[in-house]
């Protein structure tokens, strides 16, 4: 069983913080959808036939018309066995969640909506150049519920200069009142090639000190414990039994196929990523020329990627597994691990090394200390 990811690289507006691959040239949607279907035809025979999850990400998959989404579903079900599929997720923006579309998503078999809400503060939404208001966001969930959707994830952003700790606390209060079962929370990062990146350089926007986002992250951890949410991955929280299956399979090292511009695939020993350019992607698919770059992973890459993903999880790294991947790892890293344990940055518990919630904000720095140079 495997996961299939389909990247839909179009958005109505460019959010000022976003560095994902997308275009606002909506007239090119149809040729891109045709190319996606052709890539599915080409790649599916090389991949595991049985799908456990299907994930439409982007970009904004909710921008597709019913016929475009149906076209992709037909290509998927022609080549894959979806009879045992556990999860079909569609990322949706509140402004696209109108009754007709929601009804169509339901009829196609989508059983989980990942809604890009980001904030409940209209000033902050406008500042980020989002296309919706807080009221629309709230309404979008209610409408989806009317059509039988019960499985929701929502995205929220914390740590911006526009969000005070008390506003963040209120947003989390609201989360408790709306009955969603999954939450993805990301600290706002200012990326160089974005409008925010340019404005930060010219001091047009402020970059709050790290402590601002850190305080909001710590509050999130505390809130999760008090309100029966599992903070199972650094950016992901769920109610019991509602972890994201598609992403959890990524973190468990399962293979997946990525279709569409900029999509990544993983086979267990290699990674490949499609070109992040819609026109070149369409041209490549139409002319049967490669649209991707492939890298065979070295032993060192496999070990370091394992550490990177596992230390983001609450349960942490399975010590037996890392010793199997890299015989002698524990011996080699013993002095570093002992130092991290003394500094309360790693806990050795139940055969796992994990990062305690009080310092989870430092996950990247801690992980670098455990990574290996050569094997």
CB atoms within 10 A of CB 192: 10
3-state DSSP assignment of residue 232 = strand
Q: Min. distance of Cβ 218 from ligand SF4 in angstroms?
A: 25
Residue with tokens 């710590």: 218
The verdict on 187 binding ligand SF4 (CB under 6 A) reads no
Using CA atoms, how far residue 228 sits from 167, 225, 241, in Å, is 21, 6, 12
* Closest to ligand SF4 by CB, 95 or 340: 95
The residue assigned the tokens 């503060």 is 121
**Binding flag, residue 229, ligand SF4 (CB under 6 A):** no
- Binding residue for ligand SF4 (CB under 6 A) from 6, 11, 44, 220? 11
Smallest separation (angstroms) from ligand SF4 to the CB of 186: 10
How many residues of this chain bind ligand SF4 (CB under 6 A)?
A: 11
Report the distance separating Cα 111 and Cα 105, nearest Å: 8
Contact status: 14 vs ligand SF4 (CB under 6 A): yes
CB-based contacts of 139: which residues, under 8 Å, 6+ apart?
A: 94
Q: Among 58, 94, 159, 316, which residue interacts with ligand SF4 (rule: CB under 6 A)?
A: 58
Alpha carbons 313 and 307: distance in angstroms, whole number: 10
- Contact track, ligand SF4, 72-111, x by CB under 6 A: ---------------------x------------------
Can you tell me which of 18, 40, 92, 141 binds ligand SF4, judged by CB under 6 A?
18
Stretch of 55-63, 72-80, 173-181, 204-212 contacting ligand SF4, by CB under 6 A:
55-63
| Cα–Cα dist 190/203, whole Å | 12
* Minimal distance, residue 129 CB to ligand SF4, in Å: 8
The two structure tokens encoding residue 86: 């556990």
The reply on whether position 59 binds ligand SF4 by CB under 6 A is yes
3-state DSSP: the chain helix, strand, coil percent, rounded to 5?
45, 20, 35
Q: What is d(CA 279, CA 261) in angstroms, rounded to the nearest whole number?
A: 9
Pattern 114-153, ligand SF4, x by CB under 6 A: --x-------------------------------------
Report in angstroms how near the CB of residue 247 gets to ligand SF4 at its nearest.
17
H helical segments located in the chain: 29-43, 66-79, 99-108, 122-127, 134-146, 165-178, 195-201, 210-226, 245-251, 278-286, 299-310, 319-325, 329-342, 363-370
* Residue in this structure with the two tokens 């740590």, named with its chain if needed: 159
Q: Nearest approach, Cβ of 344 to ligand SF4 (angstroms)?
A: 35
Answer yes or no whether residue 20 interacts with ligand SF4 by CB under 6 A: yes
Here the tokens at position 56 are 């439409």
Query: 117, 152 in Cβ contact below 8 A?
Result: no
Q: Which is nearer to ligand SF4, 116 or 316 (CB)?
A: 116
**Cβ distance to ligand SF4 smaller for residue 14 or 26:** 14
Site stretch for ligand SF4 (CB under 6 A), options 54-62, 165-173, 245-253, 308-316 = 54-62
Beta carbon of residue 14, minimum distance to ligand SF4 (angstroms, whole number) = 5
Per CB under 6 A, residues contacting ligand SF4 are 11, 14-15, 18, 20, 22, 58-60, 93, 116
């Amino acid at each position: 069983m495997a996961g299939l990811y389909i990247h839909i690289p179009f958005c109505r507006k460019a959010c000022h913080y976003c560095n994902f691959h997308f275009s606002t040239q909506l007239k090119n949607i149809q040729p891109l959808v045709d190319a996606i279907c052709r890539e599915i035809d080409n790649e599916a025979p090389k991949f595991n036939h049985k799908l456990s999850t299907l994930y439409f990400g982007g970009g904004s998959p909710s921008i597709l018309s019913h016929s475009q989404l149906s076209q992709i579903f037909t290509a998927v079900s022609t080549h894959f066995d979806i009879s045992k599929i556990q999860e079909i997720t569609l990322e949706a923006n509140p402004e696209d969640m109108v009754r007709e579309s929601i009804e169509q998503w339901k009829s196609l078999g989508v059983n989980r909506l990942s809604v890009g809400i980001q904030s409940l503060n209209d000033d902050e939404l406008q500042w980020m150049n989002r296309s919706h208001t807080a009221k629309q966001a709230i309404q979008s969930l209610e409408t989806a519920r009317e059509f039988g959707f019960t499985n929701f994830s929502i995205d929220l952003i914390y740590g911006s200069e526009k969000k005070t700790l008390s506003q963040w606390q209120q947003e989390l209060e609201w989360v408790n009142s709306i009955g969603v079962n999954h939450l993805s929370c990301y600290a706002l990062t200012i990326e160089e090639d974005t409008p925010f990146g340019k404005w930060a350089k010219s001091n047009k926007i402020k970059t709050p000190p790290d402590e601002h986002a850190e305080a909001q992250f710590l509050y999130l951890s505390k809130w999760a414990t008090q309100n029966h949410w599992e903070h199972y991955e650094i950016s992901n929280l769920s109610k019991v039994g509602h972890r994201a299956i598609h992403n959890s399979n990524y973190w468990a090292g399962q293979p997946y196929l990525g279709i569409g511009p900029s999509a990544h695939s993983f086979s267990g020993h290699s990674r490949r990523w499609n070109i992040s350019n819609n026109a070149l992607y369409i041209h490549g698919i139409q002319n049967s020329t490669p649209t991707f770059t492939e890298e065979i992973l070295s032993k060192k890459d496999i070990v370091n990627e394992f550490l990177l993903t596992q230390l983001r999880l609450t349960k942490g790294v399975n010590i037996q597994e890392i010793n199997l991947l890299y015989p002698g790892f524990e011996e080699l890293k013993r002095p570093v691990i002992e130092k991290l344990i003394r500094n309360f940055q790693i806990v050795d518990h139940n055969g796992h090394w994990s990062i305690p919630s009080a310092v989870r904000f430092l996950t990247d720095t801690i992980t670098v200390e455990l990574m290996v140079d050569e094997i």
